[in-house]
Structure 1
Amino acid sequence: MTRSEEFTGIPGVAPRTAAPGTARTANDAHATTRGGAEPPGTQPPPSDFFAVAAVSYAATVSSPSDGDLWPSAWADDGGLYAACGDGLGFSDGPWSDIVVNRIDGDPATGLTGQRLASGRDVAPVWTDPARFNSKPTGMVAVDGDGDGRDELYLAVQDLRCGASPDTFNAAPAAGIVRSRDYGRTWTAPERAMFTDEFTTVMFLDFGQSNTGAAVLRGAVAPGDADPAGYVYAYGLDHNWRTSYSGVVPDPQDLYLARVPAASVMDRASWEFFSGLAPDGVPSWSPRLADRVAVLTDTRRVGTAAPVPMAPPPVPGSVLAQGGIVYNPGLARYLYTSWTEYTFEFYEAPAPWGPWRPFLSHDFGPFPWSGPRSAEPRHGGYATTIPSKFLSADGRDAWVQSNWFVGASTYGGSSYHFSLRPLRLDPMPAPGTAGPAHLAEPADGNLATAPGTRAIATACRSGRIEVLNDGRTDRAEDSWNGLVKDTEYWGYTWPGPVRLERLEFTSGPHDYGSGWFDGPPQVQVRRGADWTAVPATVDPPYPADWTATGTRTYTFTVAPQIGTGVRLVGRAGGWAGYTSVSELAVFGARPGTGDGGRMAP
């Protein structure tokens, strides 16, 4: 997005109003729960597929590029093709609303790129060019014409631009453009293929040349068309993310479509997912009106009351333009969405679901610190996972996202093709032992076992490693500017562990906040469920400022087996956060029991 189009510090943010002629709905007024925390909304049940899901607090890989969005496709020639919005791409050429690029290299060795085409040479503006311009939303590489070479298909939308409260808040039209020469020249339809609905089109990334679509052959009825001959795409209605001005409804439903690879630009060839037959086989309809959402999530973030002296929150829905990728190593589909301050990730066993949330990562409000800062911490928008950079076992992935609002010159931003690591470890089957690498450390502290991931509701500086670095001279706190009903500090492991003791060391002396308003609860994770377990605390937890000052409290429970543990409570004090300098987890006291070993 262009810097000149910022409003009140965030692009396209204006006082929310109902769209003309529409009734006021739950999208327009948001009730809050006790203490003004976030309302729950309607969402799918949480996923129990991953034991560990952890994303970096900042981008760790940059590139010599400029722009945002970056939907990408891995073509048969080995190149990763990606389109950016509002930037220069991989060049020092003129600015454009849309630029197509080829990217080479990988996160380990570095990334280089080449600008291929831009502006109206890529896509027209189907709506009023004075008020709208082109933005890329999805890309796929596939040999649809059978000539032995991939074509590139790029989904583009008309997005509101200019100096208006509605800038970035409406996307009334979308279409697909095609390149037969790997991104250098493009052909576009005369008219938009989609209007108002399905206008944020995100192609399902099935890997190089769409070859992964063959995995769907087992999900069709005998005699049906070969699913490997199709391209699959997801769509959002009305806008690419929350419509902050309220000129159109916010996206709360994700839809799925398919189209033969030979006729991607033929609107009449598109079919929309319309439900599952009793035998679980998906149904498709050429009528957009027959479609059924594969994911509905009505949650809103940023609706809680701010703590004193915090910036006002930015309310928004949780479904937005990101990416959907098939991860063959884990046999899972991943949808990476986002909000102004959070990442919202979902997983499913099939393109049509059921989709379930597996990670919500809070980066806190602006100002963020850029990738060149000593303590970088920033989220971003348009989150995607390029299939080209997935590890063979699927456990290591790279998330692309962008951010620039409030970035400092010194710390930099991620307004370029940038990547950060995502670690995914599947949940082991009940009753199985953990992976071999999860060995008990010599001191018995399971918080330092290989594969351990620290978790928190929020982490002000992004230094989550403070929890298990063995030091008490460094601390973190959970401030994110919002009143929170509960918060936690803890760990997840890629396999089950046996534990019975936690040693929690608080942060430094703090008279405003930094403590729990009562003894925190110990919760152990089994599957997707976090279960409270009785605990004794020594010394007694005072629930006031005297709990701070790097004091250590030992929580003892009956022996437990699980893949995660956390201390949960409500923040005390006026500033709305807790602090921690160390959290150790032990199986059994030295010389007793079999604490810390894998569950049978």
Structure 2
Amino acid sequence: MKMSRMKTLGVIALALLICEGLNRRIPAQQNSSRLPPYPKSNIIRDVRWAPMETVIRKAKGGDNWPVTWARDGSLYSTYGDGWGFEPKLEEKLSLGLVRIDGSPTDFSGVNLRSPTIEQRGQGRNGRKSWGILSVDGVLCLWLGHNNLQGGESTLAWSEDHGGTWSTVDWKFEEFGLMGFVNFGRDYQGARDEFVYAYSHDGPNADSPADHFVLMRAHKDHLLKRDAWEFFVRRDANQQPVWSKRIDERGPVFEHPDSCLRSAITFNPGLNRYLWWQAIPQPPGHPDRGDTRFEGGFGIYDAPEPWGPWTTVEFVPAWDIGPGEHGDFPTKWMSEDGRTLHLIFSGDDCFCVRKAVLVTQ
């Protein structure tokens, strides 16, 4: 009896130890996406945000808001599922175009009507734009939800500042959230003659991936599908290896189950690339890409578009809704690169918040 009882107690104790170990491991697995994927930046020590009450909100009812600095000196952006700036459109658009003029504290937005790019249909049933770029006087857009089911991307362009648009006759079925790496005014200050683009490595715009991919095409041929080549890896000298074969692409940034909506801008004052990335909602959430009203993001920096990346800031829960998309337009950066303004889609608006980078 005594021996049998001791065995029973031993089994119970062992079971308790196993359960305790599982309880310790499970939260770590569940929260792995809530931890920064790369070490702290040795260039940018901190980000100091202006108080939340200073955030400017306009164009309520629209989201996304990728931006580029065009040849005419204006910022151009697109919105999704909204009515644009005041005076608002009577019809809600899946994709609308706007021009923004002025300073980050005193700006105005104008709705640009362009039947050849405006899209209808809400959510997955309407095309959206996740990325916009001005290069040599031409505006380019990545159109997502191209299959009208939440997947695919294709490329559109305008040679008259958004008045009329054309679309290429090819698509990327593999990528659902494509964007451009933005530099200065009309692509001034670019590192070379190539246009760089990126996407989370997945076909659907609302499903997180384990990593991001990078691709490029010469700026004179970016409308040709066979001009695009894909980042494979960095070699022993940290130089990029490229391939024309899309199936040879490799990760340029890794964060398991956490790569989704994002934007990259070059900061010339600091000579660093800044990558804003929304942190998807946790598994089980009805819409993991919806961080308009609550959620967090990471900001990463690198000396080149292909890295190596380090963490500037990682905030699982910001003090206000961060939105699904965030951009640091070069036009609204100080000359030394330390004062920035984030354009983001928090609370389903065109939002602007000042940030000061504290460097080493």
Question: Is TM more than 0.5 here?
Answer: yes
CA distance in 2, matches of 1:130, 1:274: 33
Could you state the TM-score of these two structures normalised by the residue count of structure 1?
A: 0.49
Aligned to 2:284: none
**Matched residue of 1:363: which SS?**
coil
Aligned to 1:113: 109
- 1:559-593 Cα offsets, whole Å, 9 max, x none, are xxxxxxxxxxxxxxxxxxxxxxxxxxxxxxxxxxx
| 1:296 lines up with 2:241 in the alignment | no
Q: Which amino acid aligns with 1:345?
A: I
| 1:258 lines up with 2:258 in the alignment | no
| 1:40 lines up with 2:17 in the alignment | no
- 1:53-95 Cα offsets, whole Å, 9 max, x none, are 2334636123356411111110111010101111111242121
CA distance in 1, matches of 2:184, 2:204: 24
Choose between structure 1 and 2 for higher RCO, CA contacts under 8 A separated by at least 6 residues.
2
CA distance in 1, matches of 2:344, 2:359: 24
Aligned to 1:77: 72
**Matched residue of 1:212: which SS?**
coil
Aligned to 1:178: 157
Q: Which amino acid aligns with 2:195?
A: V
Q: State which of 178, 183, 191 in structure 2 corresponds to 1:201.
A: 178
**Matched residue of 1:326: which SS?**
strand
Aligned to 1:50: 44
Query: Is the Cα contact below 8 Å between 2:81 and 2:123 reproduced in 1?
Result: no
Q: Residues 19-418 of structure 1: matches in 2 within 5 Å?
A: 33=24, 36=27, 39-40=31-32, 43-56=37-50, 58=52, 60-64=55-59, 66-90=61-85, 91-93=87-89, 94-108=91-105, 110-117=106-113, 121-122=116-117, 132-143=125-136, 150-158=137-145, 171-191=150-170, 193-195=171-173, 197-213=174-190, 216=191, 227=192, 229-238=193-202, 243=207, 250-298=208-256, 317-339=257-279, 340=291, 341-363=295-317, 377-404=320-347, 415-418=348-351
CA distance in 2, matches of 1:71, 1:178: 15
Alignment CA distance shift 1:124-1:396 (3 Å): same
Query: Is the Cα contact below 8 Å between 1:386 and 1:398 reproduced in 2?
Result: yes
Aligned to 1:419: 352
Structure of greater Rg? 1
**Matched residue of 1:252: which SS?**
strand
Consecutive unaligned residues of structure 1, counting only runs of 5 or more, are 1-30, 144-149, 162-169, 217-226, 244-249, 299-316, 365-375, 405-414, 428-600
**Matched residue of 1:297: which SS?**
strand
Query: Is the Cα contact below 8 Å between 1:57 and 1:363 reproduced in 2?
Result: no
Q: Percent identity?
A: 29
CA distance in 2, matches of 1:318, 1:386: 24
- The CA RMSD measured in Å over matched residues stands at 2.7
CA shift for structure 1 position 159: 6.9
CA distance in 2, matches of 1:270, 1:391: 33
- 1:441-467 Cα offsets, whole Å, 9 max, x none, are xxxxxxxxxxxxxxxxxxxxxxxxxxx
Could you state the TM-score of these two structures normalised by the residue count of structure 2?
A: 0.80
Relative to its length, the structure with more helix (as a share) is: 2
Q: Which amino acid aligns with 2:201?
A: D
CA distance in 2, matches of 1:112, 1:336: 24
Query: Is the Cα contact below 8 Å between 1:173 and 1:199 reproduced in 2?
Result: yes
CA distance in 2, matches of 1:241, 1:338: 13
CA distance in 2, matches of 1:361, 1:349: 22
Query: Is the Cα contact below 8 Å between 1:337 and 1:344 reproduced in 2?
Result: yes
Query: Is the Cα contact below 8 Å between 2:119 and 2:128 reproduced in 1?
Result: no
- 1:91-133 Cα offsets, whole Å, 9 max, x none, are 421210000111001113x111211135x621679xx999621
